[in-house]
Amino acid sequence: MTSPESTARVAFRTAGRDDLERMVELIADDSVASRRTGSFGPAHVAGFEAIDSSPNDELVVAELDGEVVGVMQLTYIPGIARNGATRLHIEAVRVDARLRGLGIGRLMMEHAHARGRERGCALAQLTSDKQRPDAHRFYRDLGYVQSHEGFKRSL
Amino acid sequence: MTSPESTARVAFRTAGRDDLERMVELIADDSVASRRTGSFGPAHVAGFEAIDSSPNDELVVAELDGEVVGVMQLTYIPGIARNGATRLHIEAVRVDARLRGLGIGRLMMEHAHARGRERGCALAQLTSDKQRPDAHRFYRDLGYVQSHEGFKRSL
């Protein structure tokens, strides 16, 4: 395979309902996330519909030669901290496991940053499970500063 | 002073425009945040208005005996990861520096969790600067798992 590091082969678009099962499959196909994603069902449909109707959330899919190979969720968070900055908050970044290391993830993040700038964001932020050292290197290489501890709690 | 660990003395409400200067003051009054918050100005007003008009964001103030002594921003993020869970995302938690260690922060977090449950959130998440070890202990004591690395990048 030629490297997909070519915008001619990789394209981005807002996800539609028809992409949902594939997106859930991508999110679940991961040693860290598989045990918590669950098999496809009504909860994913409800989650998709809530994102689709939110003015501040969007799901983006990456296509390689027309096939969906990546997904990420972008949330635009307005704020009064950091001099009123709007934040681009990124969740659920996933590239098809068979296609990792080819530069698709980098193109996705560059697309996310461009979308954030379009929405007036001054800052991008994300967290990554401490079990993912390769992802941490990836984000540092993209200019991210590993400045925070990330906390989660069930409600 | 008697301990404020009494719901009779501490009350919560959605912040209004009249609270904005006090909230910015609280957010800036901090060794880590002061250099990035900026003095009060139009950018804070624009940030407040964007939060106020967003269906998924809210600023909450804590009052002690009727005086604003704490602030936090709550964002409800719908999702398709984690079996379609909605996340309660918490930013800019701050208690008046003169009143720390009295239990106000804990009451604020309990209020945040209650709001999250009302909105159907299955998960609460936040990040905390690596320079704040006391805050990390505070969140762990509240049942948070320090499972993620937090990354930020200017856009």
| Extents of the domains making up chain B | 10-141
Nearest CA of chain B to the CA of A1: how many Å?
A: 30
CB of A70 within 8 A of CB of A56? no
- Position A3 scores a pLDDT of 61
Identify the sign of the CA torsion A117, B152, A33, A56: negative
ipTM of the assembly?
0.92
Q: Which residue has the tokens 């505070």?
A: B138
- Position A107 scores a pLDDT of 97
pLDDT tens for each residue of B20-74: 999 999 999 876 766 666 689 999 999 999 999 999 999 999 999 999 999 999 9
pLDDT tens for each residue of B110-153: 999 999 999 999 999 999 999 999 999 999 999 999 999 999 99
Which of A34, A80, A90 best tests the B interface by mutation, with the highest count of B CBs <10 A? A80
- Position B143 scores a pLDDT of 98
Q: Is the pLDDT of residue B155 over 80?
A: yes
- How many residues are listed for chain B in this entry? 155
From residue A95, alpha-carbon distances to A2, A23, A26, B61 in Å are: 17, 10, 7, 40
Q: Which residue has the tokens 């499970």?
A: A129
| Strand partners of residue A89 | A75, A125
Q: Which residue has the tokens 């009504």?
A: A42
Structural element, H or E, at residue B152: strand B145-154
pTM: 0.93
Could you tell me which chain B residue has the CA closest to the CA of A36? B82
| Strand partners of residue A121 | A86
A51–B84 CB contact, under 8 Å? no
From residue B38, alpha-carbon distances to A32, B25, B92 in Å are: 39, 10, 14
| Local confidence pLDDT in tens for the 155 residues of chain A | 556 655 579 999 999 999 999 999 999 987 676 666 668 999 999 999 999 999 999 999 999 999 999 999 999 999 999 999 999 999 999 999 999 889 999 999 999 999 999 999 999 999 999 999 999 999 999 999 999 999 999 99
Chain A CB contacts of B140 under 8 Å are 151
Q: Which CATH superfamily is domain A10-141 in?
A: Gcn5-related N-acetyltransferase (GNAT) (3.40.630.30)
Backbone φ and ψ of A3, nearest 5°: -60, 135
Would you place residue B96 in the very low, low, confident or very high pLDDT band (cuts 50, 70, 90)?
Answer: very high
Q: Which alpha helices (DSSP H) does B6-155 contain, by range?
A: 20-28, 34-37, 42-52, 81-84, 104-118, 133-141
Q: Is the pLDDT of residue B104 over 60?
A: yes
